[in-house]
Each structure stands twice: as structure tokens, then as C-alpha cells.
Amino acid sequence: MRELRQRGKKIIFVSNKPLAPRSEYAGKLTRLGIPTKETEIITSAYVLARHLAATMPELVLYVVGEEYLINEFRSHGLKVAQEFSDQDPRELIDPRGIDAVVVAFDRTLDYRKLNTAYQALCRGARFFATNADKTCPMPGGAIPDAGAIIAALEHIAGRKLELLAGKPSALMMQVAADLLGLPPQRCLIAGDRLETDIRMGQDAGMQTAVVLTGVSTREVAEKMPAPPNLIIDNLSELIELTV
């Protein structure tokens, strides 16, 4: 990362996690030896909040997510249904006042939240999500992520998700290109998942590099209908392969 920056390359770090402020992720990278500014981080939560604030600021949102996500939306001037309800938090918020349901990774999910979201979707509320990961890897084993909640709501409400902000949505790459101040064709995304990182970059018109330090293999990458531009064993190879 230091070498690429010395060459004048702009760098953005992309995370699907909607659980913490960008400043927290920047701090983590800095502690790992990669000095990073908050403005060099984008998360699925930030992308969705930024997009909704720019395109649908009038919507009242019901958030199936954790406290940070609600605060992120509020910081962008968005209306969250939870803040308009003076009811006991254990009771159902009136779904008639909800314009859109937003689903995210939520370790506080309970029946009340699921039912409120379901009732709102049945009454025509729009259906958005920060990310669609099925599970989240943890030291003790994977746990259900936002994708599990999305699938449950799609099943019971008979609705399909309208807008996904995180990987593999090209919307995330549009925000990255905006922050970099560059057209997509002058950007390269490096990631370790073909079905999310690489697909997202290709859909956005970017160059792509799959890094074989995660779940993807060279054999599968080479057999793709549209293989990544680069297949590398580790990030350091970018130093030799980029101009």
C-alpha cells in the first residue's frame, strides 16, 4: 500500500459490514500498519445512506439493523421510523407510516422487528438492504448475516429486494469512483471473491484482480466466462503489474 501511494495511486478500502463507522475501520487498518483515513473507507451502510440521501430523502425508513446503522442514516438527514415512535419498543411500530424497509446484519433481530418489517412490506413499503451476505465468518464458526433475513422476508412477504448497496452491487463501485474522482475504467478492484468483488468490478466497468488469499482458486477464476484481468497470489504482485 505504501509503494502504491508513493506512485500516486489513490486507494479506497471497501467493506460489506454495516456494523461500525468508517473511522473505526480506518483505525483498525492503521493499527495493522496501513495508515488509513476515514475518507478512504466505504462500507455498505455508508453507500446506502449516501444514495438514499441523494435520491429518496423523503422516505421514512424502518431499519432491521443495529444502532450504528440507524445513527448513520440519521447523520445523512434521513428519517428513521424508530425515532418517530413513542410506543414501548417491544410493541409493533405502525407499519402504515413506513415507506421503506432496510435490512442489514442484525445481531439484535427479534420477532417484533421481523413482524414490523413484514407488515410494512405487505403494505407496499420499498425493500432495500445494505448487504446480502448469507453468513458472517466468526472465530467460533459462521453466523447468519443479512442474507438470511432478506431471504426470510422475501419468502413470507412474497417480495423481492429492490436495492442492494453492498457487494456485488455496482452502486458501491460508483461511490468508490466518485470518492476517487476517477472514471471506472481508470480504477482496479482487488478482492478475494469472484462472485462479489470481481463481479462488482466488472459490472461497474473496472479492471479486476482476484487475490488467491481467500476462497477463490486460480482454476475457477480461469474458467469464468469473463475471467478477472489479473489473477495474483498476493497483493504485492500489484506493484509489478500496475503502471
For residues 153 and 121, is the Cβ–Cβ distance under 8 A?
Answer: yes
Tens digit of pLDDT for each residue in 73-119?
999 999 999 754 445 555 568 899 999 999 999 999 999 999 999 99
Tens digit of pLDDT for each residue in 140-197?
888 999 999 999 999 999 999 999 999 999 899 999 999 999 999 999 999 998 988 9
**Separation of alpha carbons 4 and 102, rounded Å:** 37
Q: Which fold has domain 184-243?
A: Rossmann fold (3.40.50)
For residues 207 and 187, is the Cβ–Cβ distance under 8 A?
Answer: yes
Rounded mean pLDDT of the chain? 92
| Strand, helix or coil for residue 4 | helix
Q: pTM of the entire structure? A: 0.89
Return the CATH number of 55-164, one of 3.40.1440.10, 3.40.430.10, 3.40.50.2300, 3.40.50.1000.
Answer: 3.40.50.1000
Query: Comparing 55-164 with 184-243, is the CATH topology the same?
Result: yes
List the chain domain ranges.
55-164, 184-243
Tens digit of pLDDT for each residue in 110-122?
999 999 999 999 9
| Grid cell listed for 214 | 481467500
